[in-house]
Chain A
Amino acid sequence: MTAPLSAPLEISFDYTRSLGPVLAKFMTALADRRILGSRGSDGRVHVPPAEFDPVSFAPPAELIEVGPEGTVLTWSWTDHPVDGQPLDRPFAWALIRLDGADTGMLHAVDGGSAGQMRTGMRVRPRWAAQTSGQITDIECFEPATQPARQSAAEPAAAAAGQAVAAGQAVAGQVADGAADGAEPVTMIITPVRLGYQHTASTEESRYLRALQDGKIIGQRCPACQKVYVPPRGACPTDGVPTTTDVELPDHGIVTTFCVVNVPFQGQRVATPYVAASILLDGADIAFQHLILGCAPDEVRMGMRVRAVWRPPEDWGTTSENIDHFEPTGEPDAPYESYAHHL
């Protein structure tokens, strides 16, 4: 059996996050190259600050400056950093208790080699050349016994190790906790980018490969005998894969439709336009496509339509081979003939 189609898929999103009063002060201080912790009702100092006291659940009464040096509580060594981590060469992850704090803060230590790392070793932050009010303003920690090392010249990209722009902080209106003369940081943008190998199902792969040859392949469910296009890994009624191939014509009827008036990111057709459920002749399940080639207000339920294919030289294993559907001009199908498909 031919292997299913698969392709790399990269998804990304820049999360914009409001900081709230406690983390806003923490991030604002980071931009000023200072580290704050919160003193809890039990006297313990949390770094990063706890937004709510872990014992009393009240907002922290005070934030105090800690560090900048600290002690490694535990560490692990990684020889193969992954995308986005603070350093792109072998380094240690560590929980670091900053001087004046009672909890460990997770960060990277540029320790040279595992043999040079010790629990209990003293470290200090290496600040990014440009700070903006993010945890990555601390590029990493470094052994406190070493001569201070200059940060990389391109701080944002180096610190975050990301091809997309590293997180930026956004200054806002809340003045509470602002460092001397600095704009308070109230929001951060944290980019997330993930890579996958995306795989189509065996059934979808048959459909997509047939499209490359200009054919539309559906499949029949062995239990209910309905013809699905595209075919499916499981019939939603019977929970079994569709099996028998059925070649379908590229024409059918509009069962129902809507007129799209709302613009959105990535839209390829000028509004208003019609998105419709189209039931190909011989299929039992409708699928969605565009209706072009007539004014939106001419589209009707039961209207007969046919596929408009892109030029064959542009065909691939993709649904985009069919650019859209257009009216055939034949008489409409009677409502009773498609009522049970609605």
Chain B
Amino acid sequence: MTDVAVIGFAQAPNVRRTDGTTNGVEMLVPVFQQVLGQTGLAKEQVGFWCSGSSDYLAGRAFSFVSAVDAIGAFPPVMESHVEMDGAWALYEAWVKILTGEASTALAYGFGKSSAGLLRRVLALQLDPYVVAPLWPDSVSIAALQARLGIEAGRWTEEQMAQVAVRSRSAAAGNPAAQLSGTVDVAELLSRPYIADPLRAHDCAPITDGAAAVVLAAGDVAREHCARPAWITGFEHRIDSGSLGARDLLAAPSAAAAGRAAGAGTVDTAELHSPFTHQEILLRGELGLGEQVTVNPSGGPLSGNPMFAAGLARIGSAAAEIMAGRAGRALGHATSGPALQQNLVCVMEAR
């Protein structure tokens, strides 16, 4: 099988609100320039482009078509889009290279979450017959899962706060992070609930942002990157869309994707866990022991641009390898309510 590696990663600053449009052009133009600059590739050398975004988030039809302007897509380019996080666009790009139709690809994701009321917009990813008409917001649904774990003794509010403390501390080294710095557990626990049992620090912030990852095959990768992050496993799985029918204290799709991709052998992991308790849950499902460094970037709790944050996890994990700080790393992405869908990409240095 063709060897494929991540050879570049860039992201827009994670911020609470941008002045830009919801088609992402303003965020994407500099991100493309940065990631192509890293790799030394000209845009004409990119064989396939694939994006992840959502019209529900943008509040306009075909917002991803306007985003293509940021590529400079004339003369026409080979291009595709998924109405998913950019991590799934990266999966499509990886498959495209495996088929031999391209030797390089650029996947990107973007979202201006600040344009609407994010937790309400996300109600529309739920069953449209018996759930979405009640408009359950994403934070309240995550809180149902958090309480189950607290009452089952799987985690405590204090452990959840510790996740937030570690995340903000790690994010101090990430110039793109929205939230970073020193906070302490007692102080966090003194703050009010926003969706009992979740407090603000348990929830990823609302973030505008964009991210891009460049893939290349074999010698092209070696030519354009000193230490490529070679993909050794790339899998995604999905659990039932019915919230009440599945055990919310498990994420079988994460465990299955992790097993198939080889998650058990990594030294570093970037987890797409928009809520503190979900990082604890995912560590267990992916079999990540204490020796594994989790979310050295700060993870989504320090910045969660919708439709880009999952791709940014893979990019951040790859960046750890490319910089020589990790030997084998995984990037994880999730989609849907309460960790319904999960994707795992395992990469290594050679």
B153 within 8 A of A: no
A residues in contact with B134, CB < 8 Å: 84-86, 106-108, 135-136
- Contacts A239-B32, A239-B69 given: A82-B120 contact, CB under 8 Å? yes
Interface-central residue, B128, B148, B245, by most chain A CB under 10 Å: B245
Partner of A194, one of B20, B28, B56, B129: B56
Contact with A along B135-150 (1 / 0, CB 8 A): 1110011011111100
The CA of A103 and the CA of B151, in the complex, are separated in Å by 18
Closest to A120 in B: B151
Q: Please, how many angstroms separate the alpha-carbon atoms of A223 and B245 in the complex? A: 56
B242 x A46 contact (CB < 8 A):
yes
Chain A residues with Cβ below 8 Å from B102 are none
- The one of A75, A188, A190, A234 in contact with B147, judged by C-beta atoms closer than 8 angstroms, is A75
**B30 nearest CB across to chain A (Å):** 10
Closest to B244 in A: A104
Q: Is the CB of A235 within 8 A of B244?
A: no
How many chain-A residues does the 8 Å CB contact rule pick out?
66
CB-contacts of A55-92 with B (<8 A): 73-79, 82-86
CB-based contact A236/B135 at 8 Å: no
- Of the candidates A76, A135, A237, the one whose C-beta lies within 8 Å of that of B140 is A76
Determine if B43 is an interface residue (Cβ-Cβ < 8 Å). Answer: yes
Say how far A66's CB is from chain B's closest CB, in angstroms: 12
Task: Check if A17 sits within 8 Å of B71, measured CB to CB.
Answer: no
Q: Specify the chain A residue showing the minimal Cβ separation from B193.
A: A77
Contacts of A199 in B (CB 8 A): 19-22, 115
What residues of A have a CB within 8 angstroms of the CB of B21 in the complex? 199-201, 204, 233
Say whether B240 contacts A54, CB under 8 Å.
yes
Q: B72 and A235: CB pair below 8 A?
A: yes
| Stretch of A3-11, A171-179, A209-217, A309-317 on the interface side | A3-11
Closest to B75 in A: A237
The yes or no answer to B287 lying at the interface (CB within 8 A) is no
Q: A290–B147 Cα gap in the complex (Å)?
A: 59
Cα–Cα, bound, A54→B148 (Å)? 23
Q: Which listed segment binds A: B195-203, B250-258, B323-331?
A: B195-203
Contact B70 A239 (CB under 8 A): yes
B280 close to A (CB within 8 Å): no
Q: How far is the CA of A105 from the CA of B194 in the complex (A)?
A: 23
In the bound complex, do residue A194 and residue B59 qualify as a contact, i.e. CB atoms below 8 Å apart? yes
In the complex with contacts A23-B130, A104-B243, A194-B59, A83-B120 CB distance below 8 A: yes
Give the CA-CA distance A105 to B130 in the complex, in Å: 9
Give bound CA distance, A107 to B127, whole Å. Answer: 13
Would you give the shortest CB distance from A186 to chain B, in whole angstroms? 12
Q: Are B245 and A15 in contact (CB under 8 A)?
A: no
Q: Among A46, A93, A97, A188, which residue has the most Cβ atoms of chain B within 10 A?
A: A93
Q: Which 7 A-B pairs have the closest CB atoms?
A: A239-B72, A76-B143, A104-B244, A84-B135, A196-B59, A77-B196, A233-B25
